[in-house]
Homo-oligomer: A and B are copies of this chain.
Amino acid sequence: MDVITSHSNPKIKQVRALRQRKGRLDVGLFIVEGIRPVGELVEAATSGAANAFSVQSIYYAPELLRSDFALALVADQAARGVACQAVSAEVFSTIAEKDNPQGILALGSASQPTLADLSPATFPWGVALVSPQDPGNVGAILRSIDAVGASGLLLLDSSVDPYHPSAVRASMGALFWHPVVAATFEDFAAWARQHGYQVYGTSAHGSTEINQVLQYRHPLILLLGSERQGLTSAQAEICQGMLRLSMHGRVTSLNLAVAAGVLLYDMQAKPRAMGV
């Protein structure tokens, strides 16, 4: 078995470069680390999930990787022609993000859909985030989208990369099963209007407290502003409804991922009305 033991091996340098956004954009690859996330990527690649993923290569440290499931997965992927490279535990620690790594990571690629690929038939309800700042929030919101059975996520005017390692990790694999589409706010507004989506915005000053909502109209987009600024008044103008969460203390808002989760569970629990 060919085991890489040098930190300066060109393949190892390539993996480290993918920790930076520029590195990911240059080659169209991202890193997935840990047994469960790699397993989800492999399954998504095999089953042809939303974003058409493929596994480009796998790096593993035989000294660290003890899981029978993971070792069988590596053997199976190698048999399918995926480059599976053994590295020393020491070299693995230089490409792993976490302390005490499990000893496996994969490089994946995705062909992401665009707004033109989405319509109420395939994307009946989802979330749109305007200029989110925190990749951990983006990943946690994808996890909640998966949990409530919503369709996917739109990132509007966003500089956050959904393949940032923190977003991949926080999504717990949900990233591989739901379309994630980057678009401008302007294109989003035109697309939503064209397809008759009901856009529900959120604001501390929203006219409707969610406990007053009896039903949500579908197809539906939940539109959330950035962590710092929320929605601008121009962005709020395209919404058919403005929702607010009751605030009983001193804070005037929730963490973005928490707010999205509370709203998604309310939308999941209440009756749905179709059409306008």
Closest-by-CB residue of B relative to A149 is B248
Interface size for A (C-beta < 8 A) is 36
Please report the C-alpha to C-alpha distance between residue A105 and residue B247 in the assembled complex, in whole angstroms.
Answer: 27
Complex CA distance for A143 and B254, rounded to whole angstroms:
7
Contact (Cβ within 8 A) B172 A251 = yes
Q: What's the number of copies of this chain in the assembled complex?
A: 2
The 10 closest A-B pairs by CB, nearest first: A149-B248, A146-B249, A258-B261, A140-B255, A262-B265, A146-B251, A172-B251, A147-B247, A211-B269, A261-B262
Listed A/B pairs (23) with beta-carbon separation below 8 Å: A40-B250, A140-B257, A140-B258, A143-B255, A144-B254, A144-B258, A146-B251, A147-B246, A147-B247, A147-B249, A147-B251, A149-B249, A174-B249, A174-B250, A174-B251, A254-B261, A255-B257, A257-B257, A257-B258, A258-B261, A259-B261, A261-B261, A262-B262
Interface positions, chain A 123-167, Cβ under 8 Å from B, are: 136, 140, 143-149
Chain A, range 168-183, C-beta contacts under 8 Å to B: 170, 172-174, 177
Main secondary structure of the interface of A (DSSP, over half): helix
Closest to A40 in B: B250
Give A239-255 interface residues, CB cut-off 8 Å to B.
245-251, 253-255
